[in-house]
Structure 1
Amino acid sequence: MPTGGGVSEAPVVVLVRPQLAKNIGAAARAARCGGIKTLRLVAPRPGSWPHPAAQAMAAGALDGLDMQVCAALPDAVADCRAVYAFTARRRDIAKPFFAPRGAMAAVQHKTALVFGAEREGLTNDEVARATALVHIPTAGDFTSLNLAQAVMVAAYEWAQRAAPQAPSANERPAQQSDLEGFFSRLEEALGRAHFFRSADMRPAMIRNIRACLARAAPSAQEVRTWHGIVTALTGGKGAV
């Protein structure tokens, strides 16, 4: 999540010329799962919306979604302050270029996430209206994402940004003094147990153990648990 300030208003998903009712429904479901509650359809193929297949694929998501149909892309993004066009390839256009995570992190105001039709994507003119481009990384030899899958990637990254990030008190990393105290106790216990079979190897082994503990970045609660483990293994020797 970007530093400073709370979470911005959720983006708006815009599907340009969607062809299949099932894709509309699946995209609605994906958007709703990510906390996005507005879906706008630009010139959907006649008969694709509304449609029972879309309702079925949405699996109830339509009940909590603001669905709108627009005649053209400018109508769909008129109230947005930023427009992110999702594209399968780089375009020869000088615009900011993001992966989905970076794009969602950059959202500061009401933003439209624009996806093109299933087969042809967005036209160059439509991409030119965007304030930034977004590309979903895929395997080099296969880049074909379903429309709803692309929406799901964007919605997931939005949900990750919007999710609370602050750890609870029990999850906060332990103070270095607590870690040092535990490590000293562990080293002493290992010495009594003759773990360090070679005096020459002891410094390197101590460094390796210390590196493992530091890499774990344990919480204060976890350090207390480790103290309890040492107490149990040493028959209650040493202070906790």
Structure 2
Amino acid sequence: MEQMPAFILVRPQMGENIGAAARAMLNFGLTDMRLVSPRDGWPNERAVALASGASAVLESARLADSIADAAEGCDVLFATTARPRDMTLPVHTPETAMAEARRSIVQGRRVGVLFGPERAGLENDDIARAQAVVTVPVNPQFASLNLAQCVLLMGYEWRRQAVETGAVPEDGPVMATLPEVERWAGHFEDRLEEAGFFFPDHKAAHMKRSLRNLWARMPLTRSDTQILHGALRQLVRRRD
């Protein structure tokens, strides 16, 4: 059975939009929905009413308290956003994002796509956990897309590119999973915190986000993270 990307709805605000997103997903054969802290709780009767036959997607949806928990098992994350951000990440259209997602899946990697809440979209801290950004080329004077519309566009591009992409050599490097990158990022941040690196205090959040963004956009292998962990531990031992 073909692996499919997980669609992760981050802090969705209305059950109706979750239901419409489920319907859009099932239109294109996608069933892996994950929900991060839906505002109106879960399960939600309005979501079922709007799903219009796609209730199976809602019934199997995974509920999580954070993006890290929702993205468990994913190796690559795409973040959908309509606005430029103060971080350096590859920027895709839905077409190129889903082409890249297919290449990743052929390589044995799991893919997740982040969708932000209806009112303001994903926050910078959310996007910093992704490896790439997806922006729809809409009218710049009216760039607002409904949550379900955005899900529909991504689902359509996934389905449209359903042709086999070919085999990938099996002797390539094993890429680091998202949890492995998260563990390294946390380890590095903790040691910098102890060393007083995040100064002054009012710049600390931005500095931490920039570092998370740095690791997220690096194609780190599992071996890379192991070497980095070991090197940092040795530096701390020598200091102590």
Amino acid across the alignment from 1:103: A
Amino acid across the alignment from 2:9: L
Partner residue in 2 for 1:136: 136
Q: Tell me which of 29, 44, 50 is aligned to 1:51.
A: 44
Partner residue in 2 for 1:145: 145
Partner residue in 1 for 2:156: 156
CA offsets 1:57-102 (integer angstroms, 9 cap, x no match): 1111122563111011100112101000000112121111100000
- Number of matched pairs: 158
TM-score by length of 1: 0.62
Q: Tell me which of 40, 44, 62 is aligned to 2:34.
A: 40
Partner residue in 2 for 1:120: 120
Unpaired runs of at least 5, structure 1: 1-6, 166-240
Q: For 1:76-91, list aligned pairs within 5 A.
A: 76-91=70-85
Contact 2:7 2:112 in 1 (8 A): yes
Bigger Rg, which one: 1
Amino acid across the alignment from 1:61: A
Partner residue in 1 for 2:12: 18
Partner residue in 2 for 1:60: 53
SS of corresponding position for 1:120: coil
Partner residue in 2 for 1:29: 23
Take 1:124 and 1:18, find their aligned partners in 2: how far apart are those partners? Answer: 16
Partner residue in 1 for 2:180: none
Take 1:147 and 1:132, find their aligned partners in 2: how far apart are those partners? Answer: 19
SS of corresponding position for 1:83: strand
SS of corresponding position for 2:143: coil
RMSD of aligned alpha carbons: 1.8
Take 2:2 and 2:134, find their aligned partners in 1: how far apart are those partners? Answer: 19
Q: For 1:87-236, list aligned pairs within 5 A.
A: 87-107=81-101, 108=104, 109-162=109-162
SS of corresponding position for 2:33: strand
Contact 1:23 1:54 in 2 (8 A): yes
Contact 1:8 1:110 in 2 (8 A): no
Take 2:128 and 2:32, find their aligned partners in 1: how far apart are those partners? Answer: 23
SS of corresponding position for 1:162: coil
CA offsets 1:97-120 (integer angstroms, 9 cap, x no match): 100000000011311110010011
Partner residue in 2 for 1:180: none
Unpaired runs of at least 5, structure 2: 166-240
Percent identity (aligned): 44
Amino acid across the alignment from 2:39: R
Task: Extract structure 1 runs of 4+ deviating beyond 6 A.
Answer: none
Take 1:8 and 1:106, find their aligned partners in 2: how far apart are those partners? Answer: 16
Take 2:91 and 2:132, find their aligned partners in 1: how far apart are those partners? Answer: 6
TM-score by length of 2: 0.62
Q: CA deviation at 1:34?
A: 1.5
Take 2:26 and 2:85, find their aligned partners in 1: how far apart are those partners? Answer: 29
